[in-house]
Structure formats: C-alpha cells, structure tokens
Amino acid sequence: MKTYISMLRGINVSGQKKIKMADLRAMFEAAGYSNVRSYVQSGNVIFDADSEDSAAVTAAIEAAIMETFGFDVSVFLRDAGDFRRILDGNPYLPRAGVDPKRLYVTFLRSTPAAELVENTEVPAGSSDEFTVEGDLVYLHCPSGYGTTKLSNTFFERKLAMPATTRNWNTINALYKMASDT
C-alpha cells in the first residue's frame, strides 16, 4: 500500500469545474482507493493505493473524474517522500527575510526540456523569482501570488506542459496529512 498526494489542476476556480470535496472523496473511494481525505477546496486529495505505478494511478484518476464529473482535469501525483524533498529543497526558505507565506511550488507534468528552462525568464520589472528543479518550480513572490506573472499559465506556455501551483502552507499541510497515516 502506498500513500499518494494528488493535486487537481483548475477545479473550483472562478466557478469553473466545480466539484464538492465530498463528491471527489466518494469518487476516489469508488475507484478503489482507501484512507481518502481532502485538504481545502482546490482538489488536494491524500489516499492509499495498492499500485506503486504512479502513472497508472494518475491516468485512472483522470479517467474517473471524466466519467464522474464530465470534464478533463490534469492530476499531479506525488508521495510523502516527494513532499519531504520539496520541503527540504526550497532554495528560498533559508534566505534571511524571506516570508514563507510568499513561497509557492508549481508542479509540472514532467521534467521540462533544458532549452525551455533556459529560455524562461522572469518578466521585466518583477521582483519575483523562480528556480526549476526537475518537475518542480520553486517560486518566491514577495508581493504574493495574486500579483505575479509567474502563474500556471505562464509556466504551461513557457515549458510546454500542464502545471498546478500550491502555496507553502498547503505543501506543509499535505505532507503532514500524508505522513500521519
């Protein structure tokens, strides 16, 4: 049995792709997953699965969402070990004066091509910064995520793949929930 953390892209945002968390948890249970629990309304679900094949689990969840709710949603799947590495690897956290409330992590579908990463720059005039590490983008947005140009859409366009972002508090909470099983 393996504990996974799934993050759904773009549900319950601006009235689009609305899914009640109780309905989402029920869908996960109907798909055969156990110990299902959710965190906030943005599609964060922690669950246990018999399969160690994360690609197969991701595909099964995406198919179940389409069948149950009738729309396509990108699912990003990680485990507690991945989240521990994320927490330990944030390059901005050790800096003096960095407010953890201004830290975010963008999850990518896979590791982007090196040339795409090299050609991705912070827009002129921005104090925001990012670091790409494998299939993650660490973000430091001193003025907050609501004002940054470094959005999911920015990285999806620049790195040519789906992305979803979570704030540092959510990263910590999901890790704790996945570790407390």
Domain boundary (66, 81, 96) is at: 81
Q: What is the number of structural domains in the chain?
A: 2
Same domain for 146 and 106?
A: yes
CATH of the domain at 44: 3.30.70.1280
pLDDT per residue, tens digit, the chain (181 aa), is 999 999 998 776 666 778 888 999 999 999 999 999 999 877 899 999 999 999 999 999 999 999 999 999 999 999 989 999 999 999 999 999 999 999 999 999 999 999 999 999 998 889 999 999 999 999 999 999 999 999 999 999 999 999 999 999 999 999 999 988 5
Strands 103-108 and 163-167: antiparallel
Same domain for 106 and 151?
A: yes
- Provide the residue range defining the domain that includes 65: 2-81
CATH of the domain at 118: 3.30.70
Same domain for 70 and 127?
A: no
180 lies in some domain: no
Domain boundary (23, 51, 81) is at: 81
